[in-house]
Structure formats: structure tokens, C-alpha cells
Chain A
């Protein structure tokens, strides 16, 4: 009985993963990523392909485009300390073993019109449906 339940659970997990890859774009998602010294480096709320993020330097809004499990994004924002307007670009990979949760690896760079320039890499967890 226990084995049957485990098999059923595994099957559901696999099916949900397949569905996750087939239907990559989540309707709503939250992503948290590690930053320098393993502190919080990224917080992102996603509505479809629209992202609203707080990164180490930038409060930003933009869009991501997907190709399978990889994605690239671009958008605009404001520097957190000076409020200078700027833009960012990112590339990333998402591994989603189950429908509602995935692991991301992302490289993200930004610049402002007042000369701030920085980039970071993050590993994080995304939860979405």
C-alpha cells in the first residue's frame, strides 16, 4: 500500500514537472535569491511575464522572455539610494522539479543615467502558480 502511494506521488510529481515545463509562464510568482555573503540579494514578484524586483542596487520593473528553461529579461528602474533612473538586463536558468516551485540561477546587471553600474549573480527559489 505504501509503495503504491509512493509510486502515485512520484507520478504526480513527474506529471506536475512536465506541466511546469510546458506551461513555464506563471500567473503569479515570488522569487528570492542569494546575494553577497549569502544574504538576500533579490526579491521579485512576477505577474505573468511582468516582474517587479528589488535588487542590491535597483528597484525595477521589466519583462522576461523564455526559451525553454532559460530566460532573458530587460527593464527599467530606480537606484535605491539616489533614485536615479536606470535600466537592467538579466539572463537566467530555472529548474522546476515541481509545478509550484523552482530553483533559479541568474546573472543580472544594471546601470543608471547618473553613472551607477553593477552586476550580481544569484541562486534562488521561485514559488509560483
Chain B
């Protein structure tokens, strides 16, 4: 059985979303920092399309160095609601569920010439509740967070694998 190529799957899904009629839906596109590279300022991209009260969102992040690589893809389906006037703007809130897939590889050996070789690969899959909170200081701008809390055996110990990002972007 062929392995699923997540980068191609994710890109195709994003392309499919962009083919939807722009005038009928609310869109957002943003950039920020994700849990994939927690603690390092490596940008991730996020986007979403509002389908009435529902919103389909996605995130992609990746990093590659001479010593390792890591990628992450996440998509959420959220029931979204305008929460009301907040400070000098509005608050938009979404709640639903999502899935996450991440893969990474680390070079573990050095060959005779001193070059890194032998890569140790692993992947990560999460599924669970997701939420998005975005503060909109104007109609076109937002600053927010969007995360998924994975459900697995660690949840019994109240440990929730969290994936997602905080982002700043535009809505149109």
C-alpha cells in the first residue's frame, strides 16, 4: 500500500479551497509561530475559509537544517461565532475538531568524511478538539490563536499534546 503524501494532500486541499467562490465566503490568511518549532521564531502559515457558521482552517509549518528536518500539517473544522464587541474591535471564536500530522528526521551518524548521515525518522498523528480565538482590531486584521488538543493515553494524566499556532493575519 502506498504511503500518503501529506505535503501533496495538504497542498491539494488548499488549492481546492481556493477554487471556491471568493465572494460567498469569509477567508483568513495569516502567519505566526507554531508548536512544531516552539521557542524558535520559525514562521508557519495558516488559512481558512468560512462556510456559513462553519470554518475550515489549515496550518502548515516546516524547518530543515543540515542536521534535521520537521514538518507539520493541521486542519480543523470549527463552528465559528462572532463573540461580540471586544475592546476596540471584535472577538471571533471557533470550536470543533481537527487532525494533525507531523514528521521529522534527525541525522544520527557521521561518515568517514565527517558528513552527517543515517537519519532517524518518526511521525506523529493527533486528533482531538480544536479551538480558535481571534481578536479583530479592524475588519481586515486579526491576531489570534488556533490549537488542537490531541486525545491519547496521556490525556488520562491530563497531558494534552497541543499542536497549532498563534498568528497574525488578514480576513477578507
Contact = CB atoms under 8 A, between A and B. Distances in A.
A115 B37 contact: yes
B83 A110 contact: no
Interface in A101-128: 107, 109-121
B91 A117 contact: no
A39 to B, nearest CB: 9
Interface stretch (A3-11, A19-27, A84-92): A84-92
Given A65-B91, A116-B38, A74 B135 contact: yes
Given A107-B129, A121-B149, A74 B91 contact: yes
A65 B147 CA distance: 20
Interface residues of B, number: 38
Nearest to B95: A91
Contact of A38 (B129, B143, B157): B157
Interface residues of A, number: 32
B19 to A, nearest CB: 30
B70 to A, nearest CB: 14
Interface of B: 32-35, 37-42, 83-84, 86-87, 91, 93, 95, 129, 131-135, 143-147, 149, 157-160, 162, 164-167
Interface of A: 34-38, 41, 63, 65, 67, 72-74, 86-91, 107, 109-121
Given A36-B159, A87-B143, A119-B164, 16 more contacts: A36-B157, A36-B160, A41-B158, A67-B83, A74-B86, A74-B91, A87-B145, A109-B164, A109-B166, A111-B32, A111-B166, A114-B39, A115-B37, A116-B38, A117-B33, A118-B162
